[in-house]
Structure 1
Amino acid sequence: MDDVAKGQNLDDFLINLADGLSRAQSRLNRYPVMNAVGQQSMVYHIPRLEFELKLQMTAAETPASSGSGGRLPLQKKSRVQFLPVKASQHQSSSSATSIIKGVFVATPLDATVSQVRLSLSVEKKAARKAQVNVAVIAAPGRSVQGATVELNIDRELSERLNKTPLKPSTRLEQASLILNQESVASAGLIIANQEPEGQIIALIADLFGQTQTLLYRFEQG
């Protein structure tokens, strides 16, 4: 829209709300409820978010180029700015206030999107090196070959489960994994030399909004 000031578009407010909701849900996905044996048993979802925006629409004039070497008087171009209304803010004669109400509602994935289930496992390769395997089971007749799985170490969860935080050099060799034709991908896990035995490393994988967490206990023997 040419008559809306850049960065003040009404859509920006709705996009920011949706982005905040998405980040909140992603954070919930990182902290699933574990059962007694350390397996994921429940993940919380935000079902809906109701919002109310009170915005002030103000007409602002900005200089426009003269188009003749600057000899003619500069023309002014009117633009509309959308700004949040503060409690103590007074409305001027060149502005108007509007209240926008709405709701974001969680809906099931569309039937065209593959429903997937992730599985994580760890194979010990050396005293301080292991291999993290991600296997994906998709809906019948659908392929996830070439899809990217995001694999990370959840350091906050790991710190809560251990007496000390994980060492910075305890890391994954690769964070973005491409699934092969068998819907499998792997990444190396390097355990720092200073990492004490018995430390729990929380691994988290994400694909198409589906999240799986695995708790791996480091043992040298």
Structure 2
Amino acid sequence: MADETRLMGNSIEELLVAIAEGVREAQAALDQGPSVDGNGLPLATYHLPYLDFTIKVEMTTKTDSGGRPIAMLMAAPKGSTSSAAQSSVSGRLIAVPPGEGLPLPRLSVATGGNIGGFASIAVTVTNSAGETLANQPIELNIDTEASTTLSLARGAPAFARGSGTRLDAAVLTTGADGVATTRLRIDSKQNARQVVVITATLGTASARGVILMEEVG
């Protein structure tokens, strides 16, 4: 009986591991979704809170003449005897939130207007606990696809970056206040009705800011 119990226990353990792996993979797939839409607005994110389950198992084992247990799917030696065991297991599997349950980083991008061919960019990094994060590396990029989408919506031609339109710095580090700043240089020949979308990234967290090309001062 002890051998049968051990066999059933091992089988249930393998089944629980398979279910847990399925929950983990499902949450990982949800975590891969974009955090912002094409206009830089935040999108809803989803988290699997838990999975309740009940497993009912009936295992039939066979023992050979020496009393050794043999799995049901195996052909039993001649002269073996049969026995059955039943078990029911209920429980709850909880998916670990993104970031292993720790506060997640959050970014926000503030931009200024085109003043004398320069537009200011300020990236603020906090976390979901409301704390500011210092010494964080921020990567900035010009999102050509999003810039084109917004430029066309304003009646401007598809966005094409002029040779003089570039970031002063593409990699920033936040200060003690959780803020990092730089500027966007704007080519004087850039279409004034166009829009530039700046994407800031820290790990899997990202945010976008929008800069209008028309000069305001």
Shorter chain as normaliser: what TM range? 0.5 to 0.7
Q: Which has the larger radius of gyration?
A: 2
Partner of 2:187: 192
> Deviations along 1:142-174, whole A, 9 cap, x unmatched?
552111011111112212332232224311111
Which one of the candidate residues 155, 176, 181 is aligned to 1:181? Answer: 176
Q: Give how far 1:126 is off.
A: 2.6
Among the aligned pairs, what percent are the same residue? Answer: 22
Unaligned residue ranges in structure 1 (runs of 5+): 1-20, 48-104
TM-score by length of 2: 0.52
Partner of 1:94: none
> Deviations along 1:90-109, whole A, 9 cap, x unmatched?
xxxxxxxxxxxxxxx99621
Partner of 1:42: 43
CA–CA separation in structure 1 for the residues paired with 2:114 and 2:210: 17
Q: Give how far 1:39 is off.
A: 5.1
2:136 aligned with 1:147: yes
Partner of 1:129: 118
- The answer to whether the 8 Å contact 1:29/1:211 transfers is no
Name the SS of the counterpart of 1:193 in structure 2. Answer: coil
Unaligned residue ranges in structure 2 (runs of 5+): 1-27, 49-94, 152-156
CA–CA separation in structure 2 for the residues paired with 1:218 and 1:195: 7
Q: Give how far 1:181 is off.
A: 0.4
Root-mean-square deviation (Å): 3.4
CA–CA separation in structure 2 for the residues paired with 1:179 and 1:188: 15
- The answer to whether the 8 Å contact 2:135/2:174 transfers is yes
* Gap change, CA 1:132 and 1:115, over 3 Å in 2: same
- The answer to whether the 8 Å contact 1:158/1:166 transfers is no
Q: Which has the higher strand share?
A: 1
Amino acid at match of 1:110: E
TM-score by length of 1: 0.52
CA–CA separation in structure 2 for the residues paired with 1:106 and 1:139: 16
CA–CA separation in structure 2 for the residues paired with 1:212 and 1:186: 14
Name the SS of the counterpart of 1:33 in structure 2. Answer: coil
- The answer to whether the 8 Å contact 2:132/2:177 transfers is no
CA–CA separation in structure 1 for the residues paired with 2:149 and 2:114: 26
- The answer to whether the 8 Å contact 2:114/2:186 transfers is no
* Gap change, CA 1:200 and 1:127, over 3 Å in 2: same
Q: Give how far 1:183 is off.
A: 0.2
Q: Which has the higher helix share?
A: 2
2:158 aligned with 1:169: no
Amino acid at match of 2:41: Q
